[in-house]
């Protein structure tokens, strides 16, 4: 049976990246060909190590992990230990992985796999877009080799989460994001407008905690730190946004968008207060979003709000149900 989606996952593995990976790994219809790490929530080496540990938890040491960009194109990073903990996983420890990262750099791996599998690969990017932009520099024809790109990032009508204007993944490397969003491939952008409305609650985390499996227990453990952060600094109550897991679910067709116009999107790369803002032309909402020449970015602006339950059910499922992989 052909997979419903063949993915390369590009991530800066913190708490929500780990949840997204586990969500995908528990779906036997999803074929993850590789995971590439990038700086962001934590440094790139820790992100790769966290990825390997999560893959080991899921019994998938066969999936290669490649290390990518250590900083943005200006040479800076903006890690978020206050959000994801010092180890990127909410201070929850997983055993050291038996596998090691491959020697091939992330951007080179993306280009090679795209050349070897033209038209098959779906790139799911849930961290800064430096690896994808670097891959475009290595292979300008990459958009013609890739099936689709789904990105968790940006804020259209919603406030940013690192500045009033900017979301973290885009703000971490605006120049790279601008290049990726302007490339000639079809993109689905999953911004804060929807990820902040899909909220996993303390009740759902409690279900994971009570389920008892290693996968659900790990998810509940990292969510404790995440819920603490969101209660303290965002919502004032115990609920956490499903950023990266929602993007993963949209990428593989598990969540339908209720509103997702295809529009032109640009990124502010100046040094003022708007740096990293995603500028999307949504004026068409007054006339039903007619086709706009050059528009390639499908921006998800509304989902139905029920994804956290789906995520919880997936992670609570028995190891043989919904996945051939997770122990």
Q: Which CA distances in Å does 22 have to 191, 196, 293, 303?
A: 21, 20, 38, 21
Torsion-angle region of 119 (φ positive above 0: left; ψ -120 to 50: alpha; else: beta):
left
Instruction: Please tell me what DSSP assigns to residue 259.
Output: B
If phi > 0 it is left, if psi is from -120 to 50 it is alpha, else beta; for residue 109 that is: alpha
Question: What does the alpha-carbon distance between residue 8 and residue 158 come to, in Å, rounded to a whole number?
Answer: 28
Q: Which of 84, 122, 225, 243 is catalytic?
A: 243
How far from 227 is each of 80, 192, 200, 232, CA to CA, in Å? 15, 17, 9, 8
Half-sphere exposure of 86 (CA within 13 A, CB side): 2
Phi-psi region of 300 (alpha: psi -120 to 50; beta: other; left: phi over 0): beta
Instruction: Please say if 148 is a catalytic residue.
Output: no
- Give the integer Cα–Cα distance in Å for 146 and 123: 8
- The continuous run of DSSP H or E covering 263 comes out as strand 262-263
Report how far residue 243's alpha carbon sits from residue 43's, in angstroms, rounded to the nearest whole number: 19
Q: In the chain, what is the straight-line distance between the N-terminal and C-terminal CA atoms, in Å?
A: 23
Angle between helices 15-25 and 307-316 (to 10 degrees): 70
Collect all residues with Cβ–Cβ distance below 8 Å to 238 and sequence separation of at least 6.
201, 202, 227, 230, 231
> 90 near 117, Cβ under 8 Å?
no
Catalytic residues: 243
């Amino acid at each position: 049976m052909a997979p419903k989606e063949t993915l390369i996952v590009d991530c800066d593995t913190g708490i929500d990246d780990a949840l997204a990976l586990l969500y995908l790994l528990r779906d036997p219809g999803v074929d993850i060909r590789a995971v590439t790490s990038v700086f962001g929530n934590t440094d790139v080496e820790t992100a790769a190590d966290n990825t390997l540990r999560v893959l080991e938890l899921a019994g998938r040491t066969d999936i290669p992990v490649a290390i990518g960009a250590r900083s943005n194109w200006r040479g800076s990073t903006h890690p978020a230990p206050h959000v994801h903990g010092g180890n990127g996983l909410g201070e929850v420890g997983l055993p050291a992985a038996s596998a090691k990262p491959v020697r091939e750099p992330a951007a080179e791996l993306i280009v090679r796999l795209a050349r070897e599998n033209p038209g098959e690969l779906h790139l799911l990017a849930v961290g800064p877009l430096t690896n994808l932009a670097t891959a475009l520099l290595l292979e300008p024809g990459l958009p013609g080799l890739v099936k689709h790109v789904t990105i968790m990032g940006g804020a259209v009508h919603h406030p940013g989460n690192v500045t009033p204007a900017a979301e973290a993944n885009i703000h971490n490397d605006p120049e790279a994001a601008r290049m990726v969003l302007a490339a000639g491939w079809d993109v689905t952008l999953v911004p804060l407008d929807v990820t902040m409305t899909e909220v996993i609650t303390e009740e759902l985390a409690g279900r994971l905690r009570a389920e008892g499996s290693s996968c659900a227990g790990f998810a509940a453990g990292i969510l404790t730190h995440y819920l603490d952060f969101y209660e303290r600094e965002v919502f004032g109550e115990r609920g956490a946004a499903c950023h990266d897991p929602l993007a993963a679910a949209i990428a593989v067709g598990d969540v339908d968008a209720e509103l997702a116009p295809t529009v032109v999107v640009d990124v502010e790369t100046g040094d003022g207060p708007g740096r990293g803002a995603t500028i999307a032309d949504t004026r068409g909402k007054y006339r039903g979003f007619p086709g706009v020449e050059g528009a390639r970015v499908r921006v998800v602006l509304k989902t139905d709000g029920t994804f956290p339950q789906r995520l919880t059910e997936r992670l609570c499922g028995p190891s043989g149900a919904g996945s051939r992989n997770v122990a």
